[in-house]
Amino acid sequence: MLIWSSAFVAVRAGLADVSPFYFLSVRFTLAALLLAAIASMGGVPWRGLAGRWVPFAIAGTLLNALYLGAGYLAMTRIGGASMALIGALHPLFTALLSMPLFGDRWRPAQWLGFAFGTVGVAVVAVAGLDDSFTAPGILWALGAVVCFVAGTLYYSRHGTTLGLVQANMVQLATSALVTWALTFAFEDIRANWTWAAVATLLHLTVVVSLGAMGLLLFMLRTGSAGKVAANFYLVPGVTAVMAWAILGEALTAVMLIGMAIASAGVWLVNRR
């Protein structure tokens, strides 16, 4: 969750000079090429992709292109705290839908954990709310949550037929194609590659798209979708701490209390 949280700090620090879909297109393209080069040097076989890549293309479109695209558009209209508040719906929706889809059964203590996580995120987010809570921003944020929930559940169902390197490479390449199409179709491209923007691009490409996404895919293969999603309750609190340490943003006692509540919720969901 530390890596995922760093992504939100990077977005705040370096994306003011580059239009969102163009930035995502460059990011996904570089990540896919880098991962393909690493895989080739490591001798990862690609023949197994034939006839098995479509589910990963769908998951990649949902988890990368559409989720992040909608999220970036939302953050051009609402603040990060508002985005975090709406994003808290992701673990709860994932847990609810995993019951009919996968037959998951949650103990009362785990439902209490989901409740704690939601309340904790709300406490952190409300402490940082501003006046930029607009209807278009809310709709884009809800769309991002829907895509992330759908991608999480879809990958949990279909994400075991390829290795992690192959799966992530297919997802990144597909996401690059989708975001390039969206860029040329709808966006007025704007790019001023300042040092902050370049550093942000490198961090999000290497650390987040390769590192954090690889860890997420691994977690979805080894654990239930609901338990994995519950860990995202930690992101707003950790992001607040990192933004305070790196960007000098305010960190209040209320935010720390919310972070503690969310952490207790994650522990309740994941404890044996």
Q: Which domain holds residue 159?
A: 2-112+131-232
Residue 26 lies in a domain: yes
pLDDT tens digits for 56-101?
899 999 999 999 889 888 877 776 666 777 777 888 889 889 888 8
Structure tokens at 173: 């390449």
Q: Tell me which DSSP letter residue 161 carries.
A: S
Report, as an integer, the average pLDDT of 114-129: 80
Cα separation of 40 and 28, whole Å?
18
Cα separation of 97 and 209, whole Å?
26
Residue 70 lies in a domain: yes
Structure tokens at 192: 């001023």
* Cα 40 versus chain centre, distance: 27
Residue 249 lies in a domain: no
Residue 266 lies in a domain: no
pLDDT band at 112 (very low <50, low <70, confident <90, very high): very high
What's the total number of domains in the chain?
1
pLDDT tens digits for 17-26?
888 899 999 9
pLDDT tens digits for 8-55?
667 766 667 888 899 999 999 999 999 888 888 877 777 666 677 888
Q: Tell me which DSSP letter residue 18 carries.
A: B
Cα separation of 49 and 44, whole Å?
11
Report, as an integer, the average pLDDT of 233-239: 79
Q: Report pTM.
A: 0.84
Residue 255 lies in a domain: no
Indicate the angle between helix axes 135-158 and 213-222, nearest 10 degrees. Answer: 50
Residue 91 lies in a domain: yes
Q: Which of 251, 84, 225, 52 is nearest to 155 (CA)?
A: 225
